[in-house]
Structure 1
């Protein structure tokens, strides 16, 4: 049985087309993957810069705490003992991005309308959207201030607190006195904590997980990993393969003082923002 020349030509043409398509896929797909990876690193870098700005402001105010009379790593607490506002609120109110003349009412809780109207001030640094779409012209337009908050108002930066940590258990250690390798702040994808509200990780109760599906433990917005900020101001992007047991050793001041983070955590680092970025 012989194959007609026209049929043979069509098969040859189809083979050539298929080969060209496969070649294009072989060449283009890696390029697209590299572009996607570059985009993820750029997105992660923007998050790292937010962490860097926050930890720098904490360092500045910590150094001035004896003069200002306020500990920047302390929630606002009423005389009754009720925790009214997060340290994040005070920091945003006084330094992010610039100090404001009109401050929050520190006699009221974060849920009070007078305080909720200031929600845009720290949204850029503490929330995943970088702003709140429900606050316009300094007026609350949709959030009743109750838990759980709308996802765009939930903080993505939580402090590590509890006995032996830099934040401590009610009394913090000034960042100027803390070991540089101590982890102060961590990233969380789905905290369910309004950025203005008191609420952070306590080493006694926090999830001992990295990048769990729900995202309420330590977890990043990017598939590349999650960010942590150290007491010396460095911000690292760590892989999701980082063992919690290794990471958590740097939550404790005594451990961070004797361990080398490069040896323990360096192999999991994907990128860093240095103490003195160029």
Structure 2
């Protein structure tokens, strides 16, 4: 687990000496997603979009894609952090678990987005101060599904209510605001983020490839054996097809 290994969660990005983001958390956690070889080939001495690092562009891990929709060559992620001084992701700083004083079931860790067109290696995510706080706005938390889902600090996957107030969503995104929030006030728990009704084909948001198997990254950070189980399942499916 990343926190157990380093004593803190990953920063949203690693910045250069001028404060410019250079490397994303999605690259930093690769070893914990059983992608050590890909991580070792990444050059942290160069920006994410350097010629050397862009050679890895099309090797996005399957875990960053919506369940059942991963295709070789996909590079756009829709699995984003929300960066901000008071969120789980305070920019280039790492957050320790002791700093999170709000209840885990009312604190958002990761969110879906369907519209930002962010490369999986790019050190860019949603920003609390500039993002839309309207649920299902492409400039904020949004999805290919009829309602977007988020991963809470307790690892629960929650489908956000479409009528969620902006101030309530902002409260859910902070880690130590002390706001009195209940799970039933902001969304509906999902057993599995995959089991949701998709939008009709004619109803679209501004998007590219839909990406982000919701909940899996948090699960893998907490339990590395989960990826081994996923690999065994894929192997079993392949054997069955043969």
Same fold (TM over 0.5): yes
Deviation of the 1:161 alpha carbon: 1.5
Q: Of 90, 113, 130, which residue of structure 1 is paired with 2:70?
A: 130
The correspondence of residues 114-193 of structure 1 with structure 2, limited to 5 A, is 114-128=52-66, 129-133=69-73, 152-175=74-97, 177-178=99-100, 179=102, 180=104, 181-193=106-118
Structure with the higher helix share, 1 or 2: 1
CA–CA separation in structure 1 for the residues paired with 2:189 and 2:155: 17
The residue correspondences of 1:80-91 to structure 2 (distance < 5 A) are 80-91=18-29
> C-alpha separation between the residues in 1 aligned to 2:144 and 2:98?
30
**Shift of the alpha carbon at 1:262?**
1.9
In the alignment, what sits opposite 2:229?
none
Q: Find the aligned partners of 2:173 and 2:32 in 1 and give their Cα distance.
A: 26
Per the alignment, do residues 97 and 104 of structure 1 end up closer, same or farther by CA in structure 2, a change over 3 Å counting? same
1:217-232 → structure 2 map (5 Å cutoff): 217-223=140-146, 225-232=147-154
The worse-fitting range, judged by mean Cα deviation, of 173-182 and 153-162 is: 173-182
Is the Cα–Cα contact under 8 Å of residues 227 and 237 in structure 1 kept in the other structure?
yes
Instruction: State whether structure 2 residue 182 is matched by structure 1 residue 261.
Output: yes
The 3 A distance-change label for structure 1 pair 239 and 272 is farther
Larger Rg: 1
Provide the residue aligned with 1:103 in structure 2.
Answer: 41
After TM superposition, give the deviation of residue 123 of structure 1 in Å.
Answer: 4.1
Deviation of 1:191 after TM superposition, in Å, equals 1.4
Q: Is the alpha carbon distance of 1:240 and 1:95 closer, same or farther for their aligned partners in structure 2, counting shifts above 3 Å? A: same
Q: Determine the C-alpha separation between the residues in 2 that align with 1:204 and 1:258.
A: 18
Cα drift, residue 233 of structure 1: 1.9
- Write the deviation string for residues 226-272 of structure 1: whole angstroms up to 9, x where unpaired: 111112222212243433332221111223x453432422xx31524
- TM-score normalized by the length of structure 1: 0.59
Task: Tell me how many residue pairs correspond in the alignment.
Answer: 190
CA separation of 1:186/1:269 partners in 2, compared to 1, >3 Å: closer, same or farther? same
Residue aligned with 1:73, SS: coil
The offset of 1:160, in angstroms, is 1.3
Alpha-carbon distance change, 235 to 241 in structure 1, aligned in 2, over 3 angstroms: same
Shift in Å, 1:83: 1.7
Provide the residue aligned with 1:208 in structure 2: 133
| CA distances 1:71-90 after superposition (whole Å, capped 9, x unpaired) | 52241222343321211122
Confirm or deny: 8 A CA contact 1:123 1:132 kept in the other structure. Answer: no
Unaligned runs of 5+ in 2: 193-214, 223-242
Higher relative contact order, chain-length normalized (CA < 8 Å, sep 6+): 2
Aligned-CA RMSD value? 2.9
Task: Give the match's secondary structure for 1:185.
Answer: strand
Matching residue of 1:65 = 6
Relative to structure 1, the CA distance from residue 222 to residue 91 in structure 2 (aligned partners, 3 Å threshold; closer, same or farther) is: same
Secondary structure in 1 matching 2:81: strand
Q: Could you state the TM-score of these two structures normalised by the residue count of structure 2?
A: 0.67
